[in-house]
Amino acid sequence: MARVAIIDYGINNVRSVRNAVEYCGHEAVVTHGNDGIADASHIILPGVGAFGDAMKKIRDRGLDEILARGVCEAGKPLLAVCLGMQLLAKTSEEHADDGEFFQGLGLIEADVRRLRPKDPDLKIPHMGWNNITKLREHPILVNMRETNLAFYFVHSFAMSCENEDDVVGRATYGQDVTAIVARDNIVGTQFHPEKSQDSGIELMSNFLQWNP
């Protein structure tokens, strides 16, 4: 059984993630400090809200350094969800009205950009179910059928990766949308697996059995 640290930095919704972990038969601990992460086998970074506010909360609580120790040094598998995935990037243009982008965790060489779909009738935020196209194999997608890769998205920004090898899955919403990224022991989903019913539970279960 995995012992999962779900990181609470004060503005994210952790309840649905915790429910999904426990539904998969694993132990979930909500934490905003080092103790829960140090004892965990797996880490989940959920996210809702704005990039800049989230990064300020994370840095104020020292979670950026704690994550670096747990993920980069100890090599524990990390799943970052929705805004959590965007926080893995180097920068985001969200609310950067003065042209100065917010700095992220920098765990993936990527920048976060506003969605600009070619079809003007498509609404922002992108909200609802979308199929994703798998670009390469990854343990969190093992044994998942191509017909079962529909997930629930809510977002106005998306990650643009410098290295295409980091992109595992892609959606389409008037433009290409990075849906899953992965590097080493880190994986991120732009969608919410905890709100994606059977497909989300299957992906979450795969992550909780992953031992990179």
Q: pLDDT (tens digit, 0 to 9) for every residue of the chain, 212 residues total? A: 999 999 998 877 799 999 999 999 999 999 988 888 999 999 999 988 899 999 999 999 999 999 999 999 999 999 999 999 999 999 999 987 777 899 999 999 999 999 999 999 999 999 999 999 999 999 999 999 988 899 999 999 999 999 999 999 999 999 999 999 999 999 999 999 999 999 999 999 999 999 99
**What is the separation, in whole angstroms, between the first and last Cα of the chain?**
16
Provide the whole-model pTM. 0.96
State how many domains the chain has: 1
Expressed as residue numbers, the domain containing 43 is: 3-209
| Rounded distance between C-alpha atoms, residue 212 and residue 109, angstroms | 20
Q: Which of 110, 153, 113, 147 is closest to 129 using CA atoms?
A: 153
Helix axes 197-208, 15-23, angle to 10 degrees: 70
Which amino acid appears at position 110 of this protein? A
Q: If you compute the radius of gyration of the chain from its CA atoms, what whole number of angstroms results?
A: 16
Task: Give the CATH number for residue 120.
Answer: 3.40.50.880
How far, in Å, are 23, 34, 74, 102 from residue 194 at the CA level? 10, 24, 26, 27
Name the residues annotated as catalytic.
82, 192, 194
